[in-house]
Homo-oligomer: A and B are copies of this chain.
Amino acid sequence: MKFQDATIAEVDQVMQEAWQAFQVYRKTTLKQRADLMRAIAQELEAAGDRLITVAMGETNLPEARLRNERARTMFQLTSYAAACEAGHWLEARIDTAVPDKGDPDLRKLQVAIGPVVVFGASNFPFAYSTAGGDTATALAAGCPVIVKAHPAHAETSEIVAQAIAKSVAAAGLPKGVFAHVHGAGFETGKALVTHTHTRAVGFTGSYGGGKALFDWANQRKMPIPVFAEMGSINPVFLLPGKLKASAKELAAQLAGSITLGTGQFCTNPGLLLGVEGEGLDNFIRELGAAIEKVAPGTMLHPGIAKAYTEKRGAALGQSEVETVAVAAAPPKENQGVPTVATASAEAFFKNPLLHQEVFGPYSLVIRCPDAATLLKAAQLIEGQLTVSLMATEADLSEYSELAEAVQEICGRLILNGVPTGVRVSLSMQHGGPFPASTDSRFTSVGADGIKRWVRPLAYQSWLDAALPDALKNGNPLGIWRTVNNELTQAAL
């Protein structure tokens, strides 16, 4: 199915409607927003098999994966709805007046920042797209959402958008609370990001795409925040004790993670590092054997398959890179070939290409001559979503400097686990130092994602009746508040 790109005039119309809707939607109660989010989850389910079938056709993802992803998307909506109602994210604070010191009554809470433009991901047609985490958290915050459909799954996006629009209408909210715009070229996206009524941007995709949005947003007359998650090679440090004890198990675990979903996850482990020795040799051999047995998978779309083939080819073509193993089964059209290669630490330090993401079922093992070189590699690596340490307790004490250094380069630090599999919970940090994301201070997974779309507003000497419910003396919402520096649920 073909969709027409929105014109600049249409983008303007959509943004005007969003701005009008914002004046209404930001005043909705937490319950109204949570109800809307739960209704959207139900509509996603009600979209039934058709939604799955269309998504399968557009993304080549298998049915079971898509059914799981829809369930995850529904869980995001309903769990963020619960967080929305619990109201911790409002960060309600009250400092009562101290007349002797001339201090006025002062109360503060987080308020919606305004219309949010969301660019969905190609690799998660549901969970990081039209009704995904960005949309769900923005709706919780009180912000209208404008989704730019991903051209690789535009019809899937259209069905999801209809489910959202139906929920918005059923709730009696203005149509402008949610808008859906098509645009295969960059012009539509640029028009959305640079529109005067846009207040923030969410994006999941490539470095090139995210950085362009970031630059446009900062060059506006009124700069706005951009939360772009731009990929990561998710380094895994294999420490000697662990390698000695469990080389084979580690190899099986990592082969699974490298090839999961044909390697098309932003948390795919694309870089493995260890100290040279028998343990690492065994691991590389076992990993190669495991990778050979994995069948090539069809990638999301021909563009991604082509990019994988090219980037994989460029990496393997470096004189310092040695291919360890390639999947034994021959690939069909648009399939990605599971591949593991290896290089020395020296090559890694010299060749920037070895630091680059090869999006797909590919990973590179870096052999370090000693612990100091492993540490140096950790200090050199750019910002990442995750870092994993495969380590025994003894490894952890011996490599404590490494364990500290890696905290500087990631948002999530994993012990003896693979980076794929992102738990949807409040403690999740999905985002890392640049260039993993444009703003390491926020997460795109978990209810803390709501914080991306709000700003604090303080009320000084305000009338109780005119305050937002969250700040009223009686605490009618029953939320936790910080009153004169103490956390409490009590009324004033």
Name A108's contact: one of B83, B91, B428, B456 (CB within 8 Å): B428
Interface residues of A, CB < 8 Å — how many? Answer: 73
Q: List residues of A (113-144) whose CB comes within 8 Å of B's CBs.
A: 113-114
Using known A-B contacts A222-B435, A415-B463, A423-B95, determine if residue A88 contacts B487 with beta carbons closer than 8 Å: yes
Chain B residue at smallest Cβ distance from A93: B427
Chain B proximity of A143: nearest CB distance (Å):
13
Contact B466 A396 (CB under 8 A): yes
Contact B383 A425 (CB under 8 A): no
- A190 at the B interface (CB under 8 A): no
B-chain residues with CB within 8 Å of residue A223 when the two chains form the complex: 214, 434, 438
Contact A482 B93 (CB under 8 A): no
Please tell me which stretch of A337-345, A348-356, A403-411 contacts chain B, meaning at least 4 of its Cβ atoms lie within 8 angstroms of it.
A403-411
Chain B proximity of A438: nearest CB distance (Å):
7
Chain B proximity of A344: nearest CB distance (Å):
26
Please tell me which stretch of A176-184, A229-237, A440-448 contacts chain B, meaning at least 4 of its Cβ atoms lie within 8 angstroms of it.
A440-448
Name A457's contact: one of B27, B225, B393, B413 (CB within 8 Å): B413
| Bound form: Cα–Cα A113–B440 in Å | 9
- A107 at the B interface (CB under 8 A): yes
| Bound form: Cα–Cα A213–B93 in Å | 31
Chain B proximity of A110: nearest CB distance (Å):
9
Chain B proximity of A20: nearest CB distance (Å):
12
Contact A460 B412 (CB under 8 A): yes
Chain B residue at smallest Cβ distance from A430: B458
| Bound form: Cα–Cα A208–B417 in Å | 49
Chain B proximity of A21: nearest CB distance (Å):
14
Chain B proximity of A225: nearest CB distance (Å):
7
Q: 11 interchain pairs (CB within 8 A)? A: A27-B404, A103-B425, A108-B428, A108-B429, A218-B218, A225-B439, A410-B457, A412-B458, A414-B461, A441-B454, A480-B487
Residue ranges of A at the interface with B (Cβ–Cβ < 8 Å): 23, 27, 82-83, 86, 88, 91, 93-95, 102-104, 106-108, 111, 113-114, 214-215, 218, 222-223, 225, 383, 393, 396, 403-404, 407-408, 410-417, 421, 423, 425-429, 431, 433-435, 438-443, 448, 454-463, 466, 480, 482, 485, 487
